A and B are shown apart, each in its own frame.
Chain A
C-alpha cells in the first residue's frame, strides 16, 4: 500500500529531519509511530501527503509514486487524509461547510449531495447536532472529530494522524480515540503519531520507533512493549510509560 525507501529530508538551515527513512505499510494496517521530540515524525507524515517535498528517495502510495509534479501531488493528497494536532478547522465556515468544502471543490459534488454525505459523516462522529455551529463554538474534542470527518469526506485510502490528541484536555482524549478506534475497525489504513501508549497497544498492528530521522526499531505491537530489542527503545519506553 505504502512503500517508503531511503527518504531524506533536509530543511533549509541544514536540519536533517529524515535520514534514509524506509518503511512499508500494508492495506488496512494501523501503524503507530513513536519517538522523541524532533525525531522527524511530523516531517514523515507531511512528506507522505506532499506538504513537504522530499530531497531524495521514493514514496509510493497505492502504486503512484510521489514526485514534484503539482498534479501528482494533488492526486496523492486526495488519497491521503490528514488530521493535525491543532485541528486546523476553517474558522470562517461552520461545521457543515468545513466538511462540504473539499467535496464541492475537489470532487465537484453539488451542494445537496455534499451535504448529504457530510451529515452521514457527522453522524458517524456523533456531531450531527453541531452541523451549523462554528469551530470556536465547539470543544477541542468536538473540533478534532469534525476535522476527522472532514478528512474522511474525500474517501482517502490512508489516514495520517499527527498527535491528534496532544492538544486536548484529558477528558476529551477518549472521544477522539474512540472515533479513531472505529475507523481502525472498519479497516482503514492508518499512520498514527501519538503518545497514547494505551491506544498503541490496543489498536495498532505495529509500532515503529524512530529517532534522528530513521527507524530504530519496528515490531508487532504485542511484542514491541514487552520485548524491545534496542537500548534506545527501552530508554524511551521507560521514560513515557
Chain B
C-alpha cells in the first residue's frame, strides 16, 4: 500500500512543481545568508550535529534537540489521544437530548475556543496545577488536550451530522439503542469524513505544543531556546528546530493519507 501511494505521489509531482520548489528554496537560503551576513553573523553548522546526537564508543546517544523531540512526541501523542476522546465525548454531549449536557458542552467550547492558548496554559500552570498538585508535563498535556479537544469536537459533530438521518431511522427501527447506533452505524461512516480535518487538527496540535515551552517543559522548542541562550547559535538552531517540526508534520500527513486510502478501500 505505501509503495503505490508513493508512486502516485511522484507521478502527480510534475517537473514544474519541482522547479518552483527549488527556486523558492534557493531564494529562502539567499535571504537567510544575506541576513546573517549583514548582521556580521558567522555560521557554526559544524556544531549542530552535536546537539542532535553523538556517536562514540558508548554508541548512539541523543543530544538535547532529539531529547526535546522525544518529549514533543510524547506530549503530542498523549494529547492527541486525550483530545480525540474529549472531542468525541463533547460532540456526543452536544448532540444528546440532555439540555444540561448540551449547555455544559457549549460553555466548554466557548471558553476553550475564544481565549488564547497561551493564556490557557498559564491559567492551568498557575491556578489549576497547584490545586490538583500536578507537574509541568501533566499540566502541558491537560492544557493542550482541552484546547484541541474543543476543535476536535466540532469536527466530530460535523462528521456525525453529515450522516443521513435515514441511517439513524434504520438503526432505531431495528431496535438498536442510541449507543449501539453510534458505535455500529454512525461513527464507522463518520470516521471516513472526519479523517482529513482531524489530520489538520493533529498537525495544529504538534505546532501548538511549542507553546508549552513557556512553562519550562523541555520539549523541542524549549531545548532550542536553552541551547541558544548558552551558545547564541540563533540561526542554526531555529532552522534545525523548524526543519524537525516540518518533517514531523509532513510525516503525520503522509500516514493520514495512507490511512484514508485504506478506509476508503473498504465498502
Q: A78-B175, A91-B189, A154-B175 are in contact. Are A105 and B180 (CB under 8 A)?
A: yes
Q: Mark A96-132, 1 if CB is under 8 A from B, else 0.
A: 0000011001100000000000000000000000000
Q: Does B176 contact A (CB under 8 A)?
A: yes
Q: A91-B189, A92-B188 are in contact. Are A151 and B267 (CB under 8 A)?
A: no
Q: Are A101 and B174 in contact (CB under 8 A)?
A: yes
Write out the residue numbers on chain B whose beta carbons fall within 8 Å of the beta carbon of A81. Answer: 173
Write out the residue numbers on chain B whose beta carbons fall within 8 Å of the beta carbon of A106. Answer: 174-176
Q: A84-B170, A105-B180, A134-B267 are in contact. Are A90 and B185 (CB under 8 A)?
A: yes
Q: Does B40 contact A (CB under 8 A)?
A: no
Closest chain A CB from B33 CB (angstroms)? 54
Q: A86-B166, A91-B189, A91-B267 are in contact. Are A151 and B175 (CB under 8 A)?
A: no
Q: Mark A75-93, 1 if CB is under 8 A from B, else 0.
A: 0011011101010111111
Would you list which residues of chain B between 225 and 267 have a CB under 8 Å from chain A? 266-267
Q: Does A189 contact B (CB under 8 A)?
A: no
Closest chain B CB from A221 CB (angstroms)? 26
Write out the residue numbers on chain B whose beta carbons fall within 8 Å of the beta carbon of A82. Answer: 169, 173
Size class of the contact patch on chain B: 10 to 19
Residues of B contacting A: mostly: helix
Q: Does A49 contact B (CB under 8 A)?
A: yes
A92 to B267, CA, bound (A): 5
Q: Are A90 and B170 in contact (CB under 8 A)?
A: yes
Q: Are B177 and A74 in contact (CB under 8 A)?
A: yes
Write out the residue numbers on chain B whose beta carbons fall within 8 Å of the beta carbon of A78. Answer: 175
Q: Does A150 contact B (CB under 8 A)?
A: yes
Closest chain A CB from B55 CB (angstroms)? 49
Q: Does A51 contact B (CB under 8 A)?
A: yes
Write out the residue numbers on chain B whose beta carbons fall within 8 Å of the beta carbon of A58. Answer: none
Q: Are A102 and B176 in contact (CB under 8 A)?
A: yes
Closest chain B CB from A211 CB (angstroms)? 25
Q: Are A51 and B172 in contact (CB under 8 A)?
A: yes
- A50, A51, A90, A147: the one contacting B167 at CB < 8 Å is A90
Residues of A in contact with B (beta carbons under 8 Å apart): 46, 49-51, 74, 77-78, 80-82, 84, 86, 88-94, 101-102, 105-106, 134, 147, 150-151, 154
In addition to A74-B177, A82-B173, 15 A-B residue pairs with Cβ atoms within 8 Å of each other are A51-B172, A74-B175, A77-B174, A80-B173, A81-B173, A86-B166, A88-B166, A88-B170, A89-B170, A90-B170, A92-B189, A92-B267, A101-B174, A102-B174, A102-B176
